[in-house]
Structure 1
Amino acid sequence: MTYDPTSANPLAGNPLKTRADVEKALHDLFNPLLPYFSEGNARVRLSGTAAHFDRIAADVEGFARPLWGLTPLGAGGGSFDHWDKYREGLANGMDPDHPEYWGEVRHTDQRMVEMAAIGFTLKMLPQHVWEPQSDRAKANIARYLTDLRQYDYAPNNWKFFRILVDLGLEECGVDFDRSLTEKYLEELDGFYLGDGWYRDGNVRRIDHYIPFAMHFYGLIYAKLAKPGDKRAEAYRERAREFAKDIRHWFDEDGGTLAFGRSLTYRFACGGIWGALAFADIDVLPWGEIKGQFMRHLRWWSNLPIADRDGVLSVGYGYPNLLMSENYNSAGSPYWALKAFLPLALPEDHPFWQAEETPAERPSGAVALKHPGMVMQHTKGNVVALSSGQQNYQMRHGAEKYAKFVYSSRYGFSVESDERAYRAGAFDGMLGLSDDGRHYRVRESNETALIAGDNLYAKWKPWADVTVETWLIPAGDWHIRVHRIDTPRPLHGTEGGFAILRADLNADRCEEGEGVAEAHGETDVSRIRDLAGKRKGRAQRTLPNTNLIVSKAIVPQLTGEIEPGTTVLMTAATAVPAGADLADPPQAPDLAALEEKFARDGISVSAIEVAERF
């Protein structure tokens, strides 16, 4: 083999044990960008791919997003040889007479997002990017930032971006209308659900934007706000509650739950642990917080997440435009550098001095009522049974939010052809077809309830078809029960977990009545029919559909669904090769399940918004 794709990963080979290791990782991630700075240093263009916003805004992403890591580095006393590029880039990018001017902002604009990192830098490091500027450059920077903040920001985590710009302007002595700051702080409070959980706007989704945006920015604000600020302690207290829950989105090896949109930001998902340290919140032992942070970086160090030149790719476990959002430009992945916030802390801080401790692994399932998830910790993996969320706006929104089950080790798959029913992956999903070519899956729920550690949802793939789904944890397994009412015949395909496919079709597969197993190079995935007459098959999925591995195999159950009422019961699991595994669970009592939800079921918070489109 002439090329090992993991070797291009700037984190590869770094032990990631100490503060010095983390500082080296940041330099190694940034240095591949140097050849792509423009002549005036105001733009960084990394590829010819596009996002829905204009090319200049994409270049500003490439320029600004590394500051999420570089600014803490500088604040913590770390060396960085290229502050001159950022000084010149800021001056030129905000100068309307310069060829590299970033352009005026007159509406909700991607530039608003990127100015948050610049506001953070102005607040933390004015000696590098503000004080050395000429009076003319200072006037241009002040004008640009004060002008854009008067326009409406998107009604979600974007509202924090104005707050961060305001912190920078205040630090630099620039006058501005503070009533707009207070307005957005109040509106952000409106997204708070309780128990440490937010939603990302008035939408039916609770995803990684809660740890790597809502709490991340809130904790920066709490650290940098003036003494006595009324919201700073509120943000701290919410984070204390949230930390006890969000740790269940991380597995024992550092992987995080692959769920929702914007997963190309990769180790930004671990930014919550760095933000807790930055804000001096020791709600968990420092050894546990540090362990979660370091394991997460190490997990990413072993994946081919960069192109040959070391530039981070759009994708998740490997370069993959198929799973990307329409707002992902080539510079987008550098939001991952938000994970480096702890570099603002000195070497003697308790976070850096602590000895890593293993992740807590609960003995049973953990219910999280706000996102509508039941978490299961298994060997090298965390699994989320999920009901209550939806996203019609994002590409592959159903796959990113509405599957029955998500995983850290096995990720999830997006479908690449809505007219290729027989080729679908349907991992963690039930695909239904009435013509053998097109298909429907769960996209939203009419009802979503949680009762203890069980979930219930009612959904309609067509106007005349109703499906009720119950999800039940069962050790290393989980159970799905589907009651389908249809006036016409359908065909159904239900998938287990997708695992890495072996080369030369060397996977060992079992396909039979009511059973399918796939034994790949590294893992074993199983699915069992507990009630029904379905056949098992091992589906070799279309390439580049799974987020973590580019070639996958998934066990499936397939069969006809006759008109009337049909009940399907499924058990699924996946474990690393060689791990012990219990026998499949028994079929549950459906009547007892219905009684349980009638007695104890409460609505999942995520569904309690009438989202409009």
Structure 2
Amino acid sequence: MRQELQGRVRDLVAPLVPYFSAGRARVRLGVNTALHEDTAAELESFARPLWGLAPLTAGKGTVPHAELWLRGLAHGSDPAHPEYWGEPRDRDQRIVEMAAIGFALALAPEQWWDPLNGPERDRLGRWLLSALPRGTADNNWHFFPVLIALGLDRVGVPYDRSAITARLARLETFWLGDGWYADGPTERRDYYVPWAMHFYGLLYSRLAADGEGYGERFRERAARFALDFRHWFADDGAAVPYGRSLTYRWAQAAFWGALPFAGVDALPWGEVKGYLLRHLRWWERRPVTGTDGLLSIGYGYPQPALAEQYNAPGSPYWSLKTFLPLALPEEHGFWTAAEKPVPALPAVHAQPHAGAVLMRAFGDVTLLAGRQHHAWVRHGAEKYAKFAYSSRFGFSLPNGSLGLAQGAYDSMLALSDDHGAHYRVREEPAGPETEGGDTVHSTWRPWPDVEITTWLTAAPPWHLRTHRVRTARSLHTAEGAFAVDRDAGVERETGTGYAGASAPAGFTGVRDLDGLREGEVIDCLPGTNVLARRTALPALTGRLEPGEHWLRCAVLGAPDGREAEAAWLRPPPTTGGGT
């Protein structure tokens, strides 16, 4: 398996070779539409493969075309060279990519530093130093100067240690307890907790000469977080798609590789190994590269609409962080342990710091979301504020602003005050909290005179939704279940109080517990769902007049087959939060 993963890194990096510039400091993968300028985007495409190449070399694996990166390091850090990367400014994307170079120097200097001559080393060192005093975003970005400093430490370049101490102190303020960080002073507790806050902390704990006690704290916190994070992975290795930066794909499992790298045996190595390897195998079945072999923007397939404002063509190569265990020798317990399946875990697991309840059924995972939001990122409401996110069905983005087919409102209550032309959904939940270990609730206002309190309750294999709607205007409503892949055919069933869709990819359905709304199955526009290119969406529709109303429904998502059919035919639970 170790050799297979070494080969996987080489296979992912090889298609980049034709895109190196003449001076080897830029990798030009296509048109850059990100916030940062082309120079930073081309540095990103150059530097991010080092997240996989550095562990590969540290573990004595061979790196074809390593000389391309060595020449790029020499020329890109040379102010006199036409391909100079430029000195970073405050909040500059260069700082993010400089961290990958710092990591490579810290982990494998014999490959990425020693072959450079004296003047080349001096220039690279000065260029990395220029990032340390720069301002960064007030979140996981504080780790980037820390990682740069780890590289400088390893190759003997002196710097002002107080700047790094201040970064670490600021990162401490984001600690929430129980294994959880916030990504800055925000409501966000998404994959940036495992693949950034914990991942970088574990790198530091292994690579730093730490006399301040941070490393031990990072290890202890990661061990606690592992107990919660394992609930985010389905039996087949799929992780729940949720939040921003999903184009980093299998970086979702990078945390599981960082644990053995830092020597944190929070779980048996066979279990940790299982989470990582099943996840990678799940991704092998997905069409995530183009015909040129380059990683695409998207999640389950090329989907540019999923991109954040900061995603350039080389952004997906952050996924190579998952190959960190390749730095470990083949006799390490992570490699020698037999892979273990997912252990018996509770069917319902509340995670109050994330404002979420995780639910397992049929081997799949559903995340019920109550507190997080991020209005700045593109499609922030869809990435954070839907009611439910599924490892099997993913979630959908709008592909237009008119009607239900364009809106693709899976796992949302969509409301319209213009007869169904335009809809509004939950965007920024307020007053969130978890209740009783199975319920999360929040209040939201799609208009100033419309207040909705929503309770989401796990009742495996169903989840229940209860909404109290107080409205001063007439509203059309549509509430979606999960969206299912319809490419291989779909069977639909609808009527007063229910809607269901069965396909080879799974079964999804919704029942109105009061039997008042009408069921329909909507063919969403193509390219809306993050896992399936074309989907069918069961939904309940109705109308509300001014006043107070209660809407209650039960939603089922399952693999297609007898189990799904049996669950759908049985009466769902009727008692959830708010009742």
Q: Is the shorter-chain TM-score for this pair beyond 0.5, marking a shared fold? A: yes
Moved more, 63-72 or 352-361: 352-361
Contact 1:67–1:117, Cα closer than 8 Å, also in 2:
yes
* Offset at residue 459 of structure 1 (A): 1.0
Instruction: Show the counterpart of 1:586.
Output: 573
- The one-letter amino acid of 1:333's match is P
User: Is 2:345 aligned against 1:362?
Assistant: yes
Match of 1:603 in 2: none
Give the TM-score normalised by structure 2. Answer: 0.97
Distance 1:277 1:589, change over 3 A: closer
Alignment of 1:176-325 (within 5 A): 176-226=159-209, 228-325=211-308
Amino acid at match of 1:420: G
Q: Please list the CA deviations of residues 13-60 of structure 1 after superposition, one character each: whole Å capped at 9, or x if unmatched.
A: xxxxx1111111111111111111111110111122421110111111
Displacement of 1:229 in angstroms is 4.3
**CA distance in structure 2 between the aligned counterparts of 1:549 and 1:513, rounded to whole angstroms:** 28
Whichever residue aligns with residue 478 of structure 2, its letter is T
Aligned pair partner of 2:422 in 413, 438, 461: 438
Q: Is the 8 A contact 2:484 2:506 kept in 1?
A: yes
Scaled by the length of structure 1, the TM-score of the pair is: 0.92
**CA displacement 1:465-515 (0-9 Å, x = unmatched):** 000111111111100000100011101110001111135xx3210111011
* 8 Å Cα contact 2:459-2:573 kept in structure 1: no
Structure 1 residues 292 and 416: alpha-carbon distance in aligned structure 2, compared to 1, 3 A threshold: same
Instruction: Kindly indicate whether the alpha-carbon contact (under 8 Å) linking 1:467 and 1:485 is maintained by their aligned counterparts in 2.
Output: yes
- C-alpha contact (below 8 Å) 1:528/1:584 kept by paired residues: no
Q: Is the 8 A contact 1:361 1:377 kept in 2?
A: no
Choose from 306, 326, 332 the match for 1:343: 326
C-alpha distance in 1 between matches for 2:138 and 2:406: 38
C-alpha contact 2:288 2:301 (8 A) present in aligned 1: yes
Following TM superposition, by how much is the alpha carbon of 1:227 offset from its aligned partner in structure 2, in angstroms? 5.7
Match among 68, 72, 78 for residue 51 of structure 2: 68
The CA distance in 2 between the partners of 1:364 and 1:338, in whole Å, is 30
Number of the residue aligned with 1:518: 501
Residue pair 2:106, 2:155 contacting (<8 A) in 1 also: yes
Per-residue deviation, residues 217-257 of structure 1 (Å, max 9, x unmatched): 00000011226541110000000100000000010000001
Provide Cα deviations, 1:345-377, integer angstroms capped at 9, x if missing partner: 011100000111111242431111100111111
SS at match of 1:340: helix
Shift of 1:211: 0.4
String of CA shifts for 1:152-204, please: whole Å, max 9, x gaps: 01111111000000011111111111110000000001101000100111111
Mapped to 1, the partners of 2:405 and 2:9 lie a distance apart of 44
| Structure 1 contact 532–569 (Cα < 8 Å) conserved | no
Give the aligned partner of residue 467 of structure 2: 482
**Which one-letter code corresponds to 1:442 in the other structure?**
R
Q: What does residue 171 of structure 1 align with? A: 154
In structure 2, distance between residues paired with 1:502 and 1:41: 43
Q: How does 1:463-482 map to 2 (within 5 A)?
A: 463-482=448-467
Deviation of residue 547 (structure 1)? Answer: 0.3
Distance in 2 of aligned mates of 1:356 and 1:131: 37
Which residue does 1:382 correspond to in 2? 365
Deviation (angstroms), 1:446: 2.2
Once residues 344 and 321 of structure 2 are traced to their aligned partners in structure 1, the CA distance between those partners, rounded to angstroms, is 26
Aligned partners of 1:380 and 1:409 also within 8 Å = no
The residue matched to 1:183 in structure 2 has which SS? Answer: helix
Q: Which residue of 1 aligns with 2:483?
A: 498
Q: How far apart are 1:125 and its partner, in Å?
A: 1.7
C-alpha distance in structure 2 between counterparts of 1:588 and 1:561, whole Å: 23
Task: Name the CA distance, whole Å, in 2 between partners of 1:522 and 1:407.
Answer: 13
Partner residue, 1:418: 401
1 CA distance for matches of 2:362 and 2:30?
38
Counterpart CA distance in 2 for 1:455 and 1:123 is 43
By how many angstroms is 1:380 displaced?
Answer: 3.9
Query: Partners of 2:76 and 2:363 in 1: how far apart?
Result: 46
2:535 paired residue number: 552
Counterpart Cα distance in 2 of 1:473 and 1:94:
53
Asked whether the equivalents of residues 380 and 427 of structure 2 are also in contact (C-alpha less than 8 Å), the reply is: yes
1:30 aligns to what SS in structure 2?
Answer: helix
Does the Cα contact within 8 Å between 1:304 and 1:317 map onto a contact in 2? yes
1:300-325 CA distances to partner (integer Å, 9 max, x unpaired)?
Answer: 00010000111110000000011110
Alpha-carbon RMSD: 1.3
Which structure is richer in relative contact order (CA contacts within 8 A, separation 6 or more)? 1
| Deviation string, structure 1 residues 401-451 (Cα, Å, up to 9, x no partner) | 001111111110011223434642111111001002221100112211111
Which residue of structure 2 lines up, in the alignment, with residue 449 of structure 1? 433
Distance 1:392 1:585 in 2: 34
> Would you say the 8 A contact 1:530–1:570 is kept in 2?
yes
The CA distance in 2 between the partners of 1:36 and 1:125, in whole Å, is 25
Q: How many residues align?
A: 573
Instruction: Supply the AA of the counterpart residue of 1:400.
Output: K
Matched ranges for 1:28-107 at <5 A = 28-107=11-90
1:153 is aligned to 2:140: no
Q: Distance in 2 between matches of 1:456 and 1:570?
A: 15
Q: What CA distance in whole angstroms lies between the structure 2 residues aligned with 1:380 and 1:302?
A: 18
Structure 1 vs Structure 2: percent identity of aligned residues?
Answer: 48
CA contact (8 A) 2:399 2:406 kept: no
Question: Given residue 446 of structure 1, which amino acid in structure 2 is its aligned partner?
Answer: A
AA partner of residue 440 (structure 1): R
Cα shift readout 1:134-162 (whole Å, capped 9, x = no counterpart) = 22212211211111221101111111000
In the alignment, structure 2 segments of 5+ residues that lack a partner are none
2:377 maps to what in 1? 394
Distance in 2 (alpha carbons) for counterparts of 1:111 and 1:478: 44
Contact 1:267 1:336 (8 Å CA) reproduced? yes
1:428 and 1:584, CA in 2 relative to 1: closer, same or farther beyond 3 A?
Answer: farther
Secondary structure, aligned partner of 2:55: helix
One-letter code aligned to 1:96: P
In structure 1, C-alpha distance between the alignment counterparts of 2:576 and 2:393, rounded to whole Å: 29
For residue 289 of structure 2, give the secondary structure of its aligned residue in structure 1.
coil
Q: CA deviation at 1:588?
A: 1.8
Aligned equivalent of 1:10: none
Between 202-211 and 48-57, the greater mean CA deviation after superposition: 48-57
Which runs of 4 or more aligned residues in structure 1 lie more than 6 Å from their structure 2 counterparts after TM superposition?
A: none
Contact kept in structure 1, 2:50 and 2:104, CA below 8 Å: yes
- Select between 421-430 and 245-254 the one with higher mean Cα deviation: 421-430
In 2, Cα distance between equivalents of 1:105 and 1:354: 44
Residue 370 of structure 1 aligns to a residue whose secondary structure is helix
How far does residue 122 in structure 1 lie from its aligned partner after superposition?
Answer: 1.0
What stretches of structure 1 of length at least 5 have no aligned partner?
A: 1-17, 595-613
More off after superposition, 491-500 vs 515-524: 515-524
